Amino acid sequence: MVLRATSSSTAGSPIDDIAYLARAEHRIPTLVALATGPLSRAELGDLTGVSSSTVRRTLREFEDRNWVRREGPRYGATQPGAFVAAAMEALIDRIEAERALRGVWQWLPGEESGFTIEMCSDAVVTVAEPDAPYRPVNRFLLLLAETDEFRFVGSDVALLEPCKDVLRRRIVDGMHTEIVDPPSVARYILSTYPDHCAAPLESGNLSVLLHDELPPYGLGLFDDRIAVSCYDQGSGAVRVLIDTDAPAAREWATATYASFRDEARPLAPESVAE
């Protein structure tokens, strides 16, 4: 169904209204604030930081579009105004997510995995920079410190090796951990750090499973968040860590982890032998 404007208050095009809202930074926050409940001109001025004359002019322009109505000394959004406010908030959220991922999207899991950019709308995106290459690792360490259960699948020597001391301590202290590794990574870790691995394996809190065909990204599940670690396939460096508590992302991560776990086999001495 196509809705067509017929009144003088809807002259122009939808793009004209979007352009009007975007031309001044205070307009969208003002409309969003009015959608939450009636506010006075003074309250709107305090909220947006603009002058009283600008607030008065903005409210008049909103009234001309039937986006707000006056309720005594206060103003509140009409149903159409609240509808527009919600749409603009959603658009800003999507643009913010895209901007955060603009330079790193090529390292994200592909669409064939079921991962979507929409899952990143409320995510923390931590990007490695030339002067701060360990930013994703440091974010990962913070997530490890705040969880009681940790599950991980991937071939992330570049991520797990810098975190080995914290990971060891957390496991020995009681963090239930399950890691799905390719045999080559398990072989490297166990042969390079045999003493370091002994206590976690003996604690009963660590399970290591092996899988021969893991994805080119790492996936971690924490108590309240999930994290995707993405790599430059050429250098093997961690380029970005994306973590979120969004339900859709959690559902995807849980299903993805389960699909690899179900195909994995338990670690055994012969599994990692040369």
Among the candidates 92, 119, 139, a domain finishes at 92
Residue 208 located in a structural domain? yes
Q: How far apart are CA 244 and CA 148, in angstroms?
A: 17
Has residue 110 got a pLDDT over 90? Answer: no
pTM score, whole prediction:
0.74
Whether residues 181 and 233 fall in one domain:
yes
Q: How many domains does the chain have?
A: 2
- Cα distances (angstroms) measured from residue 243 to each of 87, 101, 119, 208, 219: 25, 13, 10, 23, 10
Whether residues 263 and 139 fall in one domain:
yes
Q: What is the CATH number of the domain that holds 143?
A: 3.30.870.10
In tens, the pLDDT along 69-104 reads: 998 999 999 999 999 999 999 999 888 888 888 877
Whether residues 137 and 58 fall in one domain:
no
Q: Give the three-class secondary structure for 215.
A: coil
Tokens standing for residue 24: 């001044």
Residue 3 located in a structural domain? no
> Among 13-17, 107-111, 174-178, 216-220, which stretch is predicted with the lowest mean pLDDT?
107-111
Has residue 6 got a pLDDT over 60? Answer: no
Tokens standing for residue 34: 């009015």
Residue 98 located in a structural domain? no
Q: How confident is the model at residue 270 (pLDDT cuts 50, 70, 90)?
A: low
Report phi then psi at 75, rounded to 5.
-125, 145
Whether residues 47 and 70 fall in one domain:
yes
- Cα distances (angstroms) measured from residue 30 to each of 16, 34, 49, 84, 95: 18, 6, 10, 12, 19
Amino acid at residue number 102: R
pLDDT value, residue 108: 83
Give the range of the structural domain holding residue 257, as residue numbers without chain letter: 104-271
Has residue 271 got a pLDDT over 60? Answer: no
Cβ atoms of 223 and 245 within 8 Å: the answer is no
